[in-house]
Amino acid sequence: MKYVMLIYEPPVSFESRDQVRSSPYVAAWRAYYKTLVEAGVYAGGAPLKDVATATTVRVRDAKRRVQDGPFAEAKEQLGGFILLELPSLDAALEWAARCPAAAVGTIEVRPMDEEIHETIVSP
């Protein structure tokens, strides 16, 4: 089973990215990532730049609409995601609890919709 962890972080976590040498938060992330890989559960993922860098695209009536944002004011922002290959939701929750962001932000865990994925990718 594949699970996605959506990682929501407070501003202070984003700020720590500027101190990659000295930040214990970044050091904890490095160790966490290595552990995920060594445990054989890591299946992909990426950190995201903060929401101020976001651009949205919509097409309505054949017209492109491109906007800055969204600028929803929130204490926590989506800071990245990780894809995990695991036997159960319980196991996914274990790994989510160990994520350094869980102590300061929120981890949303969702199962991947493998059925629809199969339908879409199969020839």
Site residues, other proteins (CB under 8 A)? 24, 27-28, 30-36, 38-39, 89-90, 93-94, 97-98, 100, 102-104
Is the Cβ of residue 50 or residue 98 nearer to other proteins in the bound state? 98
Quick count: other Cβ atoms within 10 Å of Cβ 22? 9
From the list 89, 115, 108, 91, the residue with the least C-alpha distance to 40 is: 91
d(CA 109, CA 100): 15
> Is residue 102 classed as helix, strand or coil in its secondary structure?
helix
User: Whose Cβ is closer to other proteins: residue 34's or residue 75's?
Assistant: 34
What is the closest distance, in whole angstroms, from the C-beta atom of residue 27 to other proteins in the complex? 6
Shortest CB 101 distance to other proteins, Å: 11
Closer by beta carbon to other proteins, 39 or else 52 = 39
Rounded least distance, CB 113 to other proteins, Å: 17
Distance CA 96, CA 4 (A): 10
